[in-house]
Amino acid sequence: MTDKPAVVVVGGGIAGLAAALALGERGHRVQVLERSAAPPEGPAALAGERWLRSSVPQAEHPHMLTSVGVGVLRERAPALWHDVLAAGAVPLDLLAALPPAATHREPEPGDEALVALACRRKTLEVLLFRRAAAQPTVRMRHGVTARGLAIDAERRVSGVLLDDGSRIPADVVLDATGRRAAGRDWLAAAGIQLDADQVAPSGFRGFSRFYQLNGRDWPGPLNRGNAAGVVADHYAAVAHPGDNGTFSIILAVLPEDAAMRDLRHETVFTAAARATAITAPWMADGVAEPISPVRAINCPPNTLRALAVTDRPPVAGLYPVGDAACVTDPLYGRGMSLALAHAYALADLLLARPRVDEGQARAAALLADRLFRPWYQQAAADDAARIALWRSVVHGTPMEAVERVDGRPALTEISAAARVDGLVWRGLIRSFMGLTPPEDVFDDAEFRDRVRRARPPQLPGVPALDRDSLLHTVRTALAGELIHEH
């Protein structure tokens, strides 16, 4: 084996392409195997709109690049960062959302990292593909499906088996198959069983649509720093800025909320978004034109993959990356950023430990565990609390008790304190943006003390429709559509 292991990346999404770019920059021989076609030529934003990704249905929905992802691009992939900005993406200064009554308004250490990016996923993905494909040691192969692994007598990966019966030699295989996480099936086919994955419900069905602004400015303030949104007691509504004057609206409900299934109709979706105060300015007449249909998606549960984090790696040289390692609720917008961070961290690991053996495998599992576990646990806990609240309102039943970390303030307490304490606000934003693990913020004694000592005024939160009003809006809009059809 050469000093640098030959790598096959199975999957050409964000995680797989980022891994190919990071490894190619370090001189690894890399092959990327992708089932779908390559993106078309032309300007990145237009190419992204025309790129059909049937194997990646979530690519057609809103995505966010949080501060972690921005940091990876700026520090580890500066040429790609330049490409993204030149293609029309917009950096978002999160400090613009500092509440008016909050203290500590002067710059604080670390504020320079509080930046997000307004950019559609497929625009970023096209540019990432082009940068990765331009690496002289990276080869892109499209229309190719992996069906299994070749494993040698020492329980090391030795290649990838394809549907056509051929075999591609490899020292390392990165499973970048996204939510399918095909690595478990590959091992099962080889007679190797894994422990169960850790799974917690996300309780999220999303309806989304993209728009093109008729003007230049965002129609309303970005109260969340990187978005304008509200997570109410039975639904969520969020406007996400994108590149080149585009934006998206997403309405999120419980998957079992049958009354909200009619949000898939354009007139119903529009009525609900216009009736919600935070998204209403974005939907006002003349502000923007729709550039996509309304699309619906049921989000998978939060999942931490056993293959990614096991302390007993079944084979050396097989490493999940991105969603194949961990899935968190897209409501928190961490997926793309964690995928970028993971891809570059794995590339660093393979450079530092090029020998494919049990030690490398354990190091990769420890890396994944440290990166993903805090965010999986936080998403699982936040979703459990939100699902309990939403179900109590939707079904009219008492709210189920939700387990909390001992001594940790409730998110409602932290959010209230953040209105008047700029340091609490920064801690909250740093956690939301993935810069600081939740336990390092919420379990810090000084942070907890600041939350307790804060005396926020009884200000109203971001307004949203109550359950009866949303039901009335949906039913009225649907009735109007049915009358129009007939």
Per-residue pLDDT of the chain (486 residues; tens, 9 = 90+): 447 899 999 999 999 999 999 999 999 999 999 999 999 999 999 999 999 887 777 878 889 999 999 999 999 999 999 999 999 999 999 999 999 999 999 999 999 999 999 999 999 999 999 999 999 999 999 999 999 999 999 999 999 999 999 999 999 999 999 999 999 999 999 999 999 999 999 999 999 999 999 988 999 999 999 999 999 999 999 999 999 999 999 999 999 999 999 999 999 999 999 999 999 999 999 999 999 999 999 999 999 999 999 999 999 999 999 999 999 999 899 999 999 999 999 999 999 999 999 999 999 999 999 999 999 999 999 999 999 999 999 999 988 877 766 678 888 889 999 999 999 999 999 999 999 999 999 999 999 999 999 987 776 678 999 999 999 999 999 997 666 665
Q: DSSP class of residue 301? A: P
Residue 225's SS3 state is coil
Q: Are 68 and 304 in contact (CB under 8 A)?
A: no
CB atoms within 10 A of CB 93: 14
Contact status, residue 337 vs residue 73, Cβ threshold 8 Å: no
Residue 486 DSSP code:
-
Q: Which residues contact 246 (CB under 8 A, 6 or more apart)?
A: 45, 120, 210, 211, 212, 213, 291
How far is residue 260's CA from residue 207's CA, in Å, rounded to a whole number? 10
Shortest CA distance to 252 belongs to which of 329, 323, 181? 329
Kindly report the pTM of this predicted structure: 0.95
Q: Which two tokens stand for residue 353?
A: 């430990």
The per-residue pLDDT for 410 is 85
Tokens (6 digits) for 50: 């025309």
- Count each helix (H run) and each strand (E run) in the chain, helices first: 16, 19
Residue 327: strand, helix, or coil: strand
**Encoded tokens for 149:** 């692994």
Q: Which pLDDT value is given to residue 52?
A: 86
The amino acid that residue 130 corresponds to is: R
The residues, any chain, with a CB within 8 Å of residue 390's CB and separated by 6 or more, are 203, 233, 234, 235, 253, 254, 257
pLDDT for res 1: 41
Residue type at position 107: P
Helices 14-25, 121-133: inter-axial angle, 10-degree rounding: 30
Contact residues for 114 (Cβ-Cβ < 8 A; gap 6+): 67, 93, 94, 95, 225, 426, 429, 430, 433, 435
Q: Under 8 Å CB-to-CB from 13, ≥6 apart: which residues? A: 56, 59, 125, 176, 178, 322, 323, 339
Please tell me the predicted confidence (pLDDT) of residue 407: 74
Half-sphere exposure at residue 204, Cβ-oriented, CA atoms within 13 angstroms: 27
DSSP E strand boundaries for 51-135: 90-93, 115-118
Beta strands in 196-293 (DSSP E): 198-200, 205-213, 228-231, 236-241, 246-253, 288-290
E-strand stretches of 95-185: 115-118, 138-142, 146-151, 157-162, 167-169, 172-175
What is the C-alpha separation between 412 and 410, in angstroms, rounded?
5
Q: What is the 8-class DSSP label of residue 316?
A: B
* Closest by Cα among 287, 286, 267, 300 to 484: 267
CA dihedral sign, ordered 427, 428, 433, 439: positive
How confident is the model at residue 484, as a pLDDT?
A: 63
Distances (CA, A) of 320 to 9, 52, 154, 234: 10, 24, 20, 35
* Rounded Cα distance, 34 and 36, in Å: 6
- Location of structure tokens 């970005």: 222
What does the pLDDT read at residue 482? 63
* Strands 167-169 and 318-320, sheet pairing: unpaired
Helix (H, G, I), strand (E, B) or coil at 134: coil
Q: Cβ(238)–Cβ(228) under 8 Å?
A: yes
Question: What is the distance between the alpha carbons of residues 306 and 303, in angstroms, rounded to a whole number?
Answer: 9
Reduced to 3 states (helix: H, G, I; strand: E, B; else coil), residue 223 is coil
Tokens 């000084």 — which residue?
Answer: 446
Structural domains of the chain in order of their starting residue, each with its CATH number: 7-63+120-199+301-379 (3.50.50.60), 205-298 (3.30.70)
Please tell me the predicted confidence (pLDDT) of residue 212: 97
SS3 string, 338-407, reads HHHHHHHHHHHHHHHCCCCCHHHHHHHHHHHHHHHHHHHHHHHHHHHHHHHHHHHHHHCCCCCCCCCCCC
The residue type at 191: G
User: Who's near 35: CB < 8 A, 6+ residues apart?
Assistant: 55, 142, 143, 144, 145
Write out the two tokens for 76: 């580890």
